[in-house]
């Protein structure tokens, strides 16, 4: 087991912006050991008053869209042109690519990973989506308390993970390729509906014209959706991470969104709603964990499931019988 410190020691280190302590605290919230849970919650609770002051940006897009290259370019832009301290967290429950090691990501975002104004943390390996989203959410709080004022949460846009990311960020950016067709890109309609902005990537060289055409197309498509509760009309822009163009426009879009939603109160409301949503999610998870950990449930579950399978017991009756055991 990794070395553990007192809650005060973690808190002191995080608030001082000590990256080693931040990493250790994130390892702590990623741990599912029962003995780590209380300590992790103690640390989170203590740093909570110092968190929340960042802009949380979710970024998604299918493999090949250029996420890493984009985040590297956009991240450097945020640091250099907007004077931000940036943390990049990844949600990728299927990820084999990093095996949970920081080294894996060093090769993905080379210049960001050595930038003292940036902190990159790959997705914890070998975890369920629920496990990853929970620890990422808590990691956001830890990073904010450590002084990072821009948080990028990155995910692959092909599964359910983008819904989870959407529920923990202020602004959701969808990266898309020009001319590949929505279906080809595996982008589901629901994801486009969640986007506050779409950026068409790789708008350089021969691709530049195609990207502009795609921008017009997507902008039209977005007009067909009902106006969002935020009052914000999603924007589409083009960018090239390679040539570092369009990054400023994307930041201006995010900034306009923040201005609008701070003004109309949506920003705060959304964060409150997200907090409540996570509370209910934590309750649901806690109840489920307790249920499956209960000795009588462990003893009887398989037998009762067999009876349901064989058609001797209804699913509802079986569930009720099991629930009564707890
Ligand atoms: N022409 C051009 N190519 C790009 C640009 N950005 C990325 N690429 C190329 O697109 C390919 C995929 O880029 P990655 O950044 O690895 O993106 P990804 O496939 O989404 O990968 P992950 O971030 O690992 O999920 C690489 O070969 C990049 O060199 C760009 O702005 N212009």
Cβ(67) – ligand 1 distance below 6 Å: yes
Contact between residue 206 and residue 174 where contact means Cβ atoms under 8 Å apart:
no
> Distance from first CA to last CA of the chain, Å, rounded?
31
User: Which of 115, 103, 173, 165 is closest to 139 using CA atoms?
Assistant: 165
Cβ(167) – ligand 1 distance below 6 Å: no
In the CATH scheme, what is the code of domain 51-264? 3.40.50.300
CA distance 6 to 138: 18
Contact between residue 70 and residue 173 where contact means Cβ atoms under 8 Å apart:
no
Parallel/antiparallel/unpaired status of strands 235-238 and 86-91: unpaired
Ligand 1 mean position, distance from CA 251 (Å): 20
CA distance 19 to 206: 42
Ligand 1 mean position, distance from CA 258 (Å): 28
Q: What are the residue ranges of CATH 3.40.50.300 in the chain? A: 51-264
Candidates 68, 69, 203: which one to mutate for ligand 1, based on the most atoms within 8 Å of Cβ? 69
Question: pLDDT tens, position by position, for the chain (326 residues)?
Answer: 577 899 999 999 999 999 999 999 999 999 878 789 899 999 999 999 999 999 999 999 888 899 999 999 999 999 999 999 999 998 876 655 444 444 444 457 888 989 999 999 988 776 778 778 889 999 999 999 999 999 999 987 667 788 889 999 999 999 999 876 655 455 667 788 889 999 999 999 999 999 999 999 888 888 888 888 899 999 999 999 999 999 999 999 999 999 999 999 999 999 999 999 989 988 998 899 899 999 999 999 999 999 999 999 999 999 999 999 99
Ligand 1 mean position, distance from CA 67 (Å): 6
Q: What are the residue ranges of CATH 1.20.5.170 in the chain? A: 1-50
pLDDT attached to residue 55: 97
Contact between residue 2 and residue 24 where contact means Cβ atoms under 8 Å apart:
yes
Cβ(64) – ligand 1 distance below 6 Å: yes
pLDDT attached to residue 59: 95
Contact between residue 117 and residue 85 where contact means Cβ atoms under 8 Å apart:
yes
Ligand 1 mean position, distance from CA 27 (Å): 29
The full DSSP string for 216-252 is HHHHHHHHTSPPPTT-PPPEEEE-BTTTTBSHHHHHH
Cβ(13) – ligand 1 distance below 6 Å: no
CA distance 289 to 291: 5
Nearest CA to ligand 1 atom 5: 202
Contact between residue 74 and residue 240 where contact means Cβ atoms under 8 Å apart:
no
Pick the CATH number of 1-50 from 2.60.120.260, 1.20.5.170, 3.40.50.450, 3.30.40.230: 1.20.5.170
Number of the ligand 1 atom closest to the C-alpha atom of 207: 1
User: What pTM was computed for the model?
Assistant: 0.90
CA distance 88 to 112: 9
CA distance 150 to 56: 6
Cβ(239) – ligand 1 distance below 6 Å: no
């Amino acid at each position: 087991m990794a070395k553990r410190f007192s809650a005060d020691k973690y808190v002191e280190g995080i608030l001082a912006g000590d990256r080693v302590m931040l990493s250790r605290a994130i390892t702590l919230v990623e741990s599912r050991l029962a003995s780590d849970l209380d300590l992790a919650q103690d640390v989170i609770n203590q740093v909570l008053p110092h968190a929340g002051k960042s802009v949380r940006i979710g970024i998604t897009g299918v493999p090949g869209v250029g996420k890493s290259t984009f985040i590297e370019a956009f991240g450097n832009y945020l640091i250099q042109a907007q004077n931000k301290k940036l943390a990049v967290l990844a949600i990728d429950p299927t990820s084999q690519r990093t095996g949970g090691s920081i080294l894996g990501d060093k090769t993905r975002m080379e210049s960001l990973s050595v930038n003292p104004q940036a902190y990159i943390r790959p997705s914890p390996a070998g975890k369920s989506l629920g496990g990853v989203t929970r620890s990422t959410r808590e990691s956001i709080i830890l990073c904010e308390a450590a002084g990072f004022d821009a948080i990028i949460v990155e995910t692959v846009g092909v599964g359910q993970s983008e819904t989870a990311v959407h529920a923990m960020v202020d602004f959701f950016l969808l990266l898309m390729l020009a001319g590949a067709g929505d279906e080809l890109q595996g982008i589901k309609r629901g994801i486009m509906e969640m986007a506050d902005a779409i950026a068409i990537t790789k708008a350089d060289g021969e691709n530049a014209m195609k990207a502009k055409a795609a921008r017009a197309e997507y902008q039209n498509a977005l007009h067909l959706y009902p106006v969002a509760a935020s009052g914000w009309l999603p924007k589409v822009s083009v960018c090239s991470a390679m040539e570092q163009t369009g990054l400023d426009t994307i930041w201006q879009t995010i900034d306009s969104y923040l201005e609008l939603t701070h003004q109309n109160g949506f920003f705060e409301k959304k964060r409150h709603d997200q907090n409540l949503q996570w509370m209910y999610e934590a309750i649901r998870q806690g109840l489920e964990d307790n249920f499956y950990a209960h000795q009588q449930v462990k003893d009887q579950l398989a037998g009762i499931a067999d009876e349901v399978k064989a058609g001797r017991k209804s699913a509802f009756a079986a569930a009720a019988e099991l629930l009564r055991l707890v």
